Amino acid sequence: MAHSFPLPRTCPFAPPPEYEHMREQAPLVRTSLPGGDVWLVTRHAEARQVLAGTGISTSPATPGHPNAAFHTEPPSPERAQAMEAFMAGHFIDLDPPEHTRFRRLLIPEFTVRRVREMRPGIQEIVDGLIDDMLAKGPGAELVEAFGLAMPSLVICRLLGVPYAEREFFQSRTREMLAHGDDPDLRQTAALEIREFLDRLVTEAERAPADDLLGRVITSGRLTHDEVVGVMFLLLVAGHETTANMIPLAALTLLRHPVQLAALRANPEGWPAAVEELLRYHSIVDWAAFDRVAAADQEIGGQLVRKGEGIFVLGASANRDERAFERPDEFDVARGARHHVAFGYGVHQCLGQNLARAELEIALRTLFERMPTLRVTVADDELAAKYDGPIFGLTSLPVTW
């Protein structure tokens, strides 16, 4: 039986309701897209098999890649050429050994030790934003004032964006990541961001500093365009996911006051709570888990032939009863780090240690400094990105 795809969420606290039936049906199910059929991976074990598997390609250039199935016609040669130039350095869309060349260079920048060194700076940014909300309040729009602003300032510091340029950088980032607005405006903002990063890299090449950008440049292992592309990728991947998670996580904790009270009483529980929030929401779902079989193989008892596209449903895998007890329940003490919110295998999220630190610091500090924080609208009044490839809230009005 073929299923339509993508399936929209209907609740801020759950994946699409059809996922449960799909998991019961089979670990792999077929779905029809305008350009052809693809496989959907519904269960946890098979998700990890695909994400870590040999004989699996992530490159959109591989024939049969599922992203092409969203369209009935291939892109024009001009657009294909423009996209190829724009995507230079976007190593998440590359297979080894090209992917390995980038990842080995960047892994030292996101180790547990390096992120531990970043924590005081992240704490300073979080405290500054909360100071600003308290000074202007009571009352704030948490997505704009905190969710979007915090990771933007962290990435500015990480990439060495000059302080005077941060307002422009943040405004273009917000426009580029906006949902429901004019796609032409988002594309223009993306081009402006890349041009901005091109200038930033050019300046840094003249006198590289001892920071992430400077170290990538002085390694001599990437071209100028590849460095620009890497910085752009770190911006998008490191900003949008965290920006969406912070308000959604805050809402979830407020809707579970007993568990929130336990975290306030025992702050050592925050790392486990972050893991549960990542599993429970799985905001990326399928968008980063696009694959294509590079050879015939069996997955979950199903023969998948070379050239057949695959989407791993991360939000379904993270609610799989075979991997998680009572998966639809939110439990901050669960401690289930085997979730696939960050992917799995060689393409597992490079910045996962930084994302964990940002979420932990942001949420812990928010609830420590705003103990009376509350949402001012009912859940059914929340504006959410139900049809977006990355889930989140478009606004979260709060007071204290």
Helix (H, G, I), strand (E, B) or coil at 55: coil
Instruction: Give residue-wise pLDDT tens across range 196-205.
Output: 899 999 999 9
For residue 180, name the pLDDT band (cuts at 50, 70, 90).
low
Angle, in degrees to the nearest 10, between helices 257-265 and 224-254: 110
> What pLDDT, on a 0 to 100 scale, did the predictor assign at position 82?
64
> What pLDDT, on a 0 to 100 scale, did the predictor assign at position 227?
96
Average pLDDT, integer, range 63-72: 88
Q: What is the DSSP letter of 299?
A: E
Yes or no: domain 2-399 corresponds to CATH 1.10.630.10: yes
Average pLDDT, integer, range 239-246: 91
> What pLDDT, on a 0 to 100 scale, did the predictor assign at position 81?
64
Q: H or E stretch including 275?
A: helix 270-281
Average pLDDT, integer, range 8-12: 93
Ramachandran region, residue 136 (left: φ > 0; alpha: ψ -120 to 50; beta: rest): alpha
> What pLDDT, on a 0 to 100 scale, did the predictor assign at position 160?
84
Question: Does 85 score more than 70 pLDDT?
Answer: no
> What pLDDT, on a 0 to 100 scale, did the predictor assign at position 146?
96
Phi, psi of 261 (to 5 degrees): -60, -40
For residue 1, name the pLDDT band (cuts at 50, 70, 90).
low
Residue 245 CB partners (closer than 8 Å, separation 6+): 277, 278, 281, 283, 355, 359, 392
For residue 177, name the pLDDT band (cuts at 50, 70, 90).
low
> What pLDDT, on a 0 to 100 scale, did the predictor assign at position 3?
64
Structure tokens at 187: 């594309």
Least confident of 105-119, 168-182, 320-334, 353-367: 168-182
Question: Does 182 score more than 80 pLDDT?
Answer: no
Helix (H, G, I), strand (E, B) or coil at 140: strand
Q: What are the residue boundaries of the structural domains of the chain, listed by start?
A: 2-399
Alpha carbon 69 to its chain's center: 22
Tell me the HSE value of 182 on the side-chain side, using a 13 A CA sphere.
4
> What pLDDT, on a 0 to 100 scale, did the predictor assign at position 2?
55
Give percent above pLDDT 70 in the chain. Answer: 95
Q: Model-level pTM?
A: 0.93
Give the chain's mean pLDDT: 91
> What pLDDT, on a 0 to 100 scale, did the predictor assign at position 178?
63
Residue 104 CB partners (closer than 8 Å, separation 6+): none
Helix (H, G, I), strand (E, B) or coil at 44: helix
> What pLDDT, on a 0 to 100 scale, did the predictor assign at position 238?
77
